[in-house]
Amino acid sequence: MRLASKGGIGWREAQAFRLFRLRKRVRQFLKYRPGCAKTVLFIVGCQRSGTTLLHHVLRRDPDSVTFDEVSLLSDPGDPERLRWKPPAEVSVVINSCRAPFVVTKPLVESQNLQPWRDVMPGSRVVWMFRGFRDVARSNLAFFGRENGLNDLRPILVGDHEDWRFQHLDKEVVAAIRELAAGPLSPEDAAALFWYARNSLFFSTMLNDDPDVSLCRYEDLVTRPANVVNALYRWLGRPFPGESVLVDIAESYSGQGNDLVLSPAVEEICMQMEGRLLREPRLATG
């Protein structure tokens, strides 16, 4: 049941996935009841940082139920259906699940998780991060060459209604605007968006929260057993076995090594990456 790429998965893979989901639902229906005690996990971070891979790994857990970015938790009033419903409504959906392990991926709420955490006491957060070169390259390859510039636009104009601008530090915004005052390549823009999103790990004080763990994508793809075992220990849940790891491929890492960035953009991103690497993270700290 491999992880789908941009091109999707084939018919056989789709059928195998449907059968897998059916088996999980039957198992959970027979074993658990609605309202059972739950471990709730939010997977957040910058897009293209491995959040989907970790989500897919945890989806293989027979005791989990997973919610993708577009799901029953999505606000139907949001045109992209990426923003979440109000916290009370999300809580009702999650508490109605029979599974004891609930995994969510609200990437566009990474800057604004507290209201949902408040209605789900004891919930945990994993912040995924990945090298800025790999993320910038993946961003442009997956979403298109203009995507980095499109992601920066709400930051440059100060759009408080847009998730990309919300809760960014003034110093971060000022630095991005200064760098964007001159010519900015698509690669520079995508890297600066990585910088903006990962700055939230510090500006929203997640780095000081014991219920938040940092997970590095490069660790996950090179030492998956160590990282995923560490995650389950931190969650206080039994490790379901190495079958959850079978779709992890180390070749996903290091694809942006030849990415060309302006010296100023490279420097500010390297500073942020260094700051993240100094923080304790799963399987290392």
pLDDT per position as a tens digit, 93-109:
999 999 999 999 999 99
The predicted model scores a pTM of 0.94
Give a yes or no: residue 188 inside a domain.
yes
Give a yes or no: residue 5 inside a domain.
no
Give a yes or no: residue 12 inside a domain.
no
Confidence of residue 257 (pLDDT cuts 50, 70, 90): confident
pLDDT per position as a tens digit, 173-182:
999 999 999 8
**CA dist., res. 24 & res. 215, Å (int):** 27
Q: Percent of the chain having pLDDT more than 70?
A: 94
Give a yes or no: residue 177 inside a domain.
yes
Domain boundaries, position 247? 32-277
Q: Percent of the chain having pLDDT more than 90?
A: 85
* The pLDDT of residue 118: 97
Q: Are 220 and 248 in contact (CB under 8 A)?
A: yes
Q: Domain holding 238: CATH number? A: 3.40.50.300
Q: Are 23 and 68 in contact (CB under 8 A)?
A: no
- Nearest residue to 240 (alpha-carbon basis) of 26, 77, 62: 62
**Lowest-pLDDT range, 183-187, 200-204, 281-285?**
281-285
183 φ/ψ sector (left φ>0, alpha ψ -120 to 50, else beta): beta
**CA dist., res. 241 & res. 233, Å (int):** 13
* The pLDDT of residue 121: 95
pLDDT at 209 over 70: yes
Give a yes or no: residue 25 inside a domain.
no
Give a yes or no: residue 19 inside a domain.
no
pLDDT at 45 over 90: yes
Q: Is the dihedral of CA 167, 204, 67, 241 positive or negative?
A: positive
Which residues partner with 129 through β-bridges?
Answer: 216
**CA dist., res. 274 & res. 152, Å (int):** 22
* The pLDDT of residue 1: 56
**CA dist., res. 37 & res. 149, Å (int):** 44
Look at the chain and report how many structural domains it folds into: 1
3-state helix, strand, coil in the chain (%, to 5): 50, 10, 40
pLDDT at 251 over 60: no
Residues 6+ apart with CB under 8 A from 53: 3, 217, 220, 221, 247, 248, 252
Give a yes or no: residue 13 inside a domain.
no
Mean pLDDT of the chain: 93
pLDDT at 285 over 60: no
Give a yes or no: residue 88 inside a domain.
yes
**Lowest-pLDDT range, 31-40, 191-200, 264-273?**
31-40
Confidence of residue 162 (pLDDT cuts 50, 70, 90): very high
Which one is predicted more confidently, 247 or 268?
268
Q: Which two tokens stand for residue 44?
A: 């957040």
Q: Are 137 and 259 in contact (CB under 8 A)?
A: yes
- Nearest residue to 47 (alpha-carbon basis) of 105, 117, 113, 125: 105
pLDDT per position as a tens digit, 95-152:
999 999 999 999 999 999 999 999 999 999 999 999 999 999 999 999 999 999 999 9
